[in-house]
A and B are shown apart, each in its own frame.
Chain A
């Protein structure tokens, strides 16, 4: 049943400004990290091909800007997403507290058919900072939140050191695959020529 065709997954990364969304993406796609902070303006798009369970996936990663003023990008950006990645900085409490808002905002904008089971992934980023001493969001706390939202998978990552980044994105593919809708048959109507003819001939014959 499962088709062997390539699958394209639209992945949206959301989170407060400065939590490391672009860095995670760059680490994942290019295995590069830069200490310099450059705000993403609007949105950025990257693609990455991965192989998972014998299937080829193309991740179409939509890296969005965290700043408020770009939130107007709206419905179209979120439409048809296969997975949503929520990122926070474990050293900034507010970024963790925002996760609920981001999640709700996404569900409103994208309005997926089954919001309860829409695949999210939560990443707690920057665990490398200050050897973990400046950390304010504990793993326990983050996991508890994830559990309360329907068992969202949680990963602690370091975009700088490349820690857990690969695993997190693999989980994204796995989740999307699980969520793959059943292939419905495509059966458009067929025109009944005989009936059309009757209807036509009963009309004005000019």
Chain B
């Protein structure tokens, strides 16, 4: 259970909506009127026939629901091996066969993915495509350097200590033996599906793609049926489940979720999922579908399950997935400069850009004058390289979605050679390790008196005192618990360390989701954009402040005073300003996109 991040979020706050039988369909307004009723009728019955119904709610404890309730009497063919999905007004097949009792499924990694993905140094999947890419044509070489500090596993980052078993997702798909007939599959809180425009499955977060072929066909049928009426299906609500659709040419992406995330967030996640696919294959894949609508792209994606599961996992801890900004590892200004100078030597050899990262955090980035690296591309790239150290063709969707670049990915250790030696000699690696162990911005360190500021995160004498020794449950001054500051000009954000009131992974995930909602509401195109938002509920006081230059998201103790909270937010902004050359990459190439 702990291995599954999305089922780990507390289910107590997810209440069943009893009046959710009839789905609301968000369709374009310019629809052909007389077809709308028909569509709605069709869709409501689709909801009855597909597994998106109230019986799959996590709050439902009756796994052993009487079969008679599922069966409406007319269909008696309770075939055990049957996987049936219906579209249309069918009253007959609510699929009694769907209730195969598959509780207690074991974690299983897909066999073909196992060998090559357990080792981060393998470039296995890239090798599969090796025939398609002649190195002689590699005129452009990207250098991606990933710093790996000794002994700590990927994802075991001080700032995002979310899931103790975070390393599990790196192994690739779990629960591969499930299908839409499994109760465990139906109880999963967040599904992602990718399918082709002919209804053939390409990727599924849980379960075996082939076994889900019927389900996949149902999804295609829904999308196509609405499309046939000159319309587009964006969202279907069924109870507390949301079904979000994204059509990208011949590739259809669907998310089915009961996590109560806003539609915009889920849609953004589907966009990133698509981007990840493009990063691996480029959008030239569309041509294959044009030539042959039967085209099956799954072989081309062979061995990349881990990339997708890690991306989906990041949707529940990495603010970059909704902020569209990247974050830097806090470092003394001179240290970052040293790293940049070393990288510059690499960049001068004619590569597009060179980037030095520590997990998902940038240490330095050096590139051509006009090189454009969108924060989303950086996110997808970083997600891709944590699974393989290699020389590999990659595509940066926002840079040029049609063509490949070549990325050289190398993990650095203190005791290896060449650039590492230079970095080590210049003390960069030590500084990186120090930053990792000490953390970045701690709200406890927020200067109460603005004038008494040292202007640095790294000269504070009490930095090494453990924070848990103090009064727990208090956090920073005036009940400040956490903040995220996003610089609009730099396309970077900085996130404070998690204070003791939100030290538990569940609390952090809940806060992450709260920020996500806050972000969506502040950027709502319909009623926004907004400048400030103050929101108090039983968990926190949330304060959001958006200006031309920055966006600040802050969480306080639920009893925090509004006036004081606002004053503290001003302090935070001042603090960020004071230490900006340590937390941001300044003077980097102005990106153009």
Chain A residues packing against B (C-beta within 8 Å): 3, 5-8, 10, 26, 29-30, 32, 34, 38, 40-47, 49, 58, 60, 62, 65, 70, 72-77, 79-82, 110, 112-113, 181, 184-197, 200-201, 205
Interface set, chain B 108-140, CB cutoff 8 A to A? 129, 131-133, 137-140
Q: In the bound complex, do residue B404 and residue A189 qualify as a contact, i.e. CB atoms below 8 Å apart?
A: yes
A33 to B210, CA, bound (A): 25
What's the minimum C-beta distance from A4 to chain B, rounded to whole angstroms?
A: 11
A8 and B292 contact, CB distance less than 8 A: no
A47 close to B132 (CB less than 8 A): no
Nearest A residue to B293 by beta-carbon distance? A80
Do A44 and B369 touch across chains, with their CB atoms under 8 A apart?
A: no
Q: Are A29 and B81 neighbours in the complex by a CB distance under 8 Å?
A: yes
Task: Indicate whether B74 reaches chain A with its CB closer than 8 angstroms.
Answer: yes
Minimum distance in angstroms from A12 CB to a CB of chain B: 10
Q: Which residue of A lies closest to B140 (CB)?
A: A193
In the complex, the answer to whether A43 meets B87 with C-beta atoms within 8 Å is yes
Hey, which chain B residues are within 8 Å of A46, CB to CB? Answer: 82-84, 214
User: A196–B214 contact, CB under 8 A?
Assistant: no
Say yes or no: B300 contacts A47, CB within 8 Å.
no
Contact A47 B211 (CB under 8 A): yes
A23 to chain B, nearest CB (A): 11
Could you give, for residues 55-92 of chain B, a 1 whenever the CB lies within 8 Å of some chain A CB and a 0 otherwise?
A: 00000000000000000001111010111111111101
Q: How far is the CA of A201 from the CA of B369 in the complex (A)?
A: 9
Q: Is the interface of A mostly helix, strand, loop or mixed?
A: mixed
User: Which of the residues A26, A80, A185 comes within 8 Å of B196, measured between beta carbons?
Assistant: A80
* Nearest A residue to B212, CB-CB: A47
Residue of B nearest to A60 (CB): B213
Contact A30 B79 (CB under 8 A): yes
A76 touches B296 (CB 8 A): no
What residues on A are CB-neighbors of B403 within 8 Å?
188-191
Residues on the A chain within 8 Å of B85, using CB: 44-45
Chain A CB within 8 A of B402 CB: yes
A43 lies within 8 A of B368 (CB):
no
Q: Is the CB of A42 within 8 A of B90?
A: yes
**A185 touching B218 in the complex, CB below 8 Å, given contacts A10-B198, A81-B294:** no
Shortest A127–chain B CB gap in Å is: 23
Q: Across the interface, do B299 and A10 meet the contact criterion of CB distance under 8 Å?
A: no
Instruction: From A26, A42, A194, give the contact of B77 (CB < 8 A).
Output: A26
The residues of A that contact B199 with a CB separation of less than 8 Å are 10, 60, 62, 79-80
- A38, B92: Cβ atoms closer than 8 Å: yes
Flag if B139 contacts A190 (CB, 8 Å): yes
The CA-CA distance from A44 to B395 in the complex, in Å, is 38
How far does the alpha carbon of A60 sit from the alpha carbon of B86 in the complex, in Å? Answer: 13
Q: Within the complex, which residue of B89, B132, B140, B225 is in contact with A191, where a contact is CB–CB below 8 Å?
A: B140
Contact status of A82 and B294, CB under 8 A, knowing A58-B213, A193-B405, A195-B139: yes
Which residues of chain B come closer than 8 Å to A112, judged between CB atoms? 293
Cβ of B541 under 8 Å from chain A: no
Chain A residue nearest to B180 (CB atoms) is A47
Taking a contact as CB atoms under 8 Å apart, the answer to whether B140 and A8 are in contact is no
B residues within 8 A CB of A79? 197-199, 293
User: Interface of B with A (CB < 8 Å)?
Assistant: 42, 74-77, 79, 81-90, 92-93, 129, 131-133, 137-141, 196-201, 210-211, 213-218, 220-221, 223-225, 227-228, 281-282, 284-285, 288, 291-296, 298-300, 350-352, 368-370, 393, 395, 400, 402-406
Q: How far is the CA of A82 from the CA of B285 in the complex (A)?
A: 20
Report the minimal beta-carbon distance from A184 to chain B, rounded to whole angstroms.
8
Bound Cα distance from A26 to B93, whole angstroms: 12
Nearest B-chain residue to A80, judged by Cβ: B198
- B198 CB, nearest partner CB in chain A, Å: 2
Contacts of A192 in B (CB 8 A): 139-140
Interface centre among A32, A113, A190, A194, by most B CB within 10 Å? A190
Q: How far is the CA of A130 from the CA of B137 in the complex (A)?
A: 70
Alpha-carbon gap, A98 to B516, bound state (A)? 56
Residues of B within 8 A of A195 (CB): 139
A5:B299 contact, CB within 8 angstroms: yes
Given contacts A47-B210, A58-B210, contact A41 B228 (CB under 8 A): no
**Other CB < 8 Å A-B pairs besides A8-B213, A40-B88, A42-B42, 15 of them?**
A8-B201, A8-B210, A10-B294, A32-B79, A34-B77, A42-B86, A46-B84, A46-B214, A60-B214, A62-B217, A77-B221, A181-B294, A190-B139, A191-B405, A196-B140
Chain B residue nearest in CB terms to A62 = B217
Q: Give the chain B neighbours of A30 by CB distance below 8 A.
A: 77, 79, 81-82
* Cα–Cα distance between A186 and B301 once the two chains are bound (Å): 12
- A193-B81 in contact given A49-B210, A80-B196, A82-B294 (Cβ < 8 Å): no
Residues of B within 8 A of A200 (CB): 368-370
- The CA of A184 and the CA of B291, in the complex, are separated in Å by 11
Q: How far is the CA of A79 from the CA of B197 in the complex (A)?
A: 7
B140 touches A113 (CB 8 A): no
Chain A nearest CB from B352 CB (Å) reads 5
B291 touches A73 (CB 8 A): no
* Among A41, A49, A113, A200, residue most surrounded by chain B Cβ atoms (within 10 Å): A41
7 cross-chain CB contacts under 8 A: A10-B200, A43-B86, A45-B86, A45-B218, A193-B405, A200-B368, A200-B369
